Structure 1
Amino acid sequence: MPHFPLDAFLSSLPWTAGGLAVLLAGTFALAVRQNRHSVMDAAWGLGFVLVTAISWLLSAGEGDDGRRLLLLVLVAVWGLRLSVHIGLRALGGHEDPRYVDLLASAPGSRNAYALRRVYLPQGLVLFFVSLTVQVGMFSTGSLGWVAVPGVLLWLLGAVFETVGDRQLAQFKADPARRGTVLSTGLWRYTRHPNYFGDAAVWAGLFLVAADSWPGVLTVLSPALMIWTLAGKTGKPLTEKAMSGRPGYQEYIESTPGFLPLPPQRRAPGRRR
């Protein structure tokens, strides 16, 4: 079993946590200035990139260089694309309806409530999920065969997320389609190709980290990400917001909820 530099890894955690805290504090200050806390969504991917970059620097001379570089590139490509996409989408926009609903019941200061209910929980989740990458940075075993399906799964997720986001942006850009439901392209096979893509990316990153001990012990990190996307704040909140849109119930009945599968044929005689 390869040796794991536990002391060096533990010494790196305050630095990655501190870097993340600085990023979230800056994001919070910007949100207060703009009176729009949905800027946190744009900082989400950037937070993973920052933690990964700090961990990469601190693991020099400790972890396997091939795995370190691979994890850095995979997280940077995914996180920067996501942050740029969300940031451009939000330019000149208004507060996301999810945050409007959450902060509508804020007791006392709206910003203080957002700090407790948005930034702190998301910061903790981000740090916990990133442990897969942080542990992988310090793993000393050389890259093996398990990393290959990990990279392929990451690639599948990146394609689904990128293409799904692009198809949705093109759909929303057409005024004639306002108020309708996107049910073509990747959205024909899953109601959430972007969330599925995120889940596949982090499952792939886990396999790259789990290729060497003790990366396999971080399985709860991608599990939390996937649960959040599929069962907590991703899919459920999006479908709740879309539930009143004409045709969305029919879309739910005919399209798989998360994993991409062939569209389901409607039962004969079912009322539309």
Structure 2
Amino acid sequence: MSDFPWADLALNLLLSAVAVVVLMGLVMATAIRIKNQSIIDIVWGPGFVVVAVVSYLASASSDGDDARRLVVLALTAVWGLRLGIYIGNRNRGHGEDKRYTALMRHQTGSLVGFLIRKIYGLQGVLLWFISLPVQVAMYEDASIGLLGALGIALWLVGFSFEAIGDWQLARFKADPANAGRIMDRGLWAWTRHPNYFGDACVWFGLWMLALGHPIGIVAVVSPIVMTKLLVSYSGKALLEKGMRRSKGAAYDEYVARTSGFFPRPPRRRDALASES
């Protein structure tokens, strides 16, 4: 592993960290001014694009494989920008997300210090850490190869699940006839969270593109952390808690017949009835 450009990667990690700090500072200042902390959700995806662009430019003079660098940049940009645009459109006109409103009720001490501890510092660290495969891949001189091709394929699966799932949900919510109903059609019949499953696939795919050198193996912690967040903390667990509270027995029935994460055919209602 002595042939790897460790010094260049170290500088990249520093530059990307500075970029994330600047980005989070600007977002926090804007959020304070408009009194809406939930704009950080819109910036989450594009934040990875910022890191990818910084890494791509910083690695320009390295021996990193140009095709690998360009593919990683493009895949990160497509994923991050789509996510930012989708969340921006979804949140338009709805004010601050209730999660952040509830959090702000517990503010103590300095507003800036509170926001750094509870929102922007934490999300900045996570963004930088999860983006490690993107940064590492920029400095690998091996061609994309089979593992990289499989990573691209996995990214395509994940991006399709995420984008199609979000599109299906948006159409469902836009129909007044569906008010109060549970989305259980399309991909949402196969998994309760096609967007989260897709997100996990996207990041494991990007990690596979960082396997052009043994150092990339270590970066597997990044998609693992991303998936853990989606399943156990800010994503699936939090969302399902709210759904059970608002939808009651109807949501319990949906849970009984639909996979919680990995897609599978939905269980038939008559099969569920025979078990009860």
Q: TM-score, normalised by structure 2?
A: 0.93
Q: Which residue of 1 aligns with 2:58?
A: 58
1:249 aligns with 2:270: no
Give, in angstroms, the shift of residue 40 of structure 1: 0.3
In the superposition, relative to structure 1, how do residues 2 and 80 fare at CA in structure 2: closer, same or farther (>3 Å)?
farther
Q: How does 1:106-145 map to 2 (within 5 A)?
A: 106-108=107-109, 112-145=113-146
Q: Which runs of 5+ in 2 are unaligned?
A: none
1:237 aligns with 2:232: no
Give, in angstroms, the shift of residue 153 of structure 1: 0.4
CA distance in 1, matches of 2:50, 2:109: 33
Match of 2:245, SS state, is coil
Q: Which residue of 2 aligns with 1:34?
A: 34
Q: How does 1:86-235 map to 2 (within 5 A)?
A: 86-108=87-109, 112-235=113-236
Q: Which runs of 5+ in 1 are unaligned?
A: none
Match of 2:183, SS state, is coil
Q: Is the 8 A contact 1:188 1:263 kept in 2?
A: yes
CA distance in 2, matches of 1:175, 1:94: 21
Q: Is the 8 A contact 2:141 2:212 kept in 1?
A: no
Give, in angstroms, the shift of residue 26 of structure 1: 1.0
Q: Is the 8 A contact 1:5 1:138 kept in 2?
A: yes
Match of 1:53, SS state, is helix
Aligned-partner residue type, residue 259 of structure 1: F
Indicate the larger mover: 184-193 or 27-36: 27-36
| Equivalences, count | 271
Give, in angstroms, the shift of residue 179 of structure 1: 1.6
Q: Provide the alpha-carbon RMSD of the alignment.
A: 1.7
Match of 2:95, SS state, is coil
CA distance in 2, matches of 1:263, 1:57: 46
Runs in 1 of length 4+ with deviation above 6 angstroms? Answer: none
Q: Is the 8 A contact 1:180 1:245 kept in 2?
A: no
In the superposition, relative to structure 1, how do residues 191 and 111 fare at CA in structure 2: closer, same or farther (>3 Å)?
farther
Q: TM-score, normalised by structure 1?
A: 0.94
In the superposition, relative to structure 1, how do residues 240 and 114 fare at CA in structure 2: closer, same or farther (>3 Å)?
farther
Q: Which residue of 1 aligns with 2:273?
A: 268
Q: Is the 8 A contact 2:140 2:212 kept in 1?
A: no
Aligned-partner residue type, residue 19 of structure 1: A
Deviations 1:165-208 (A, max 9, x none): 01111111112212211000000000011111110000100011
Give, in angstroms, the shift of residue 112 of structure 1: 4.1
Aligned-partner residue type, residue 152 of structure 2: V
Indicate the larger mover: 26-35 or 183-192: 26-35
Q: Is the 8 A contact 1:145 1:211 kept in 2?
A: no
Match of 2:210, SS state, is helix
Match of 1:82, SS state, is helix
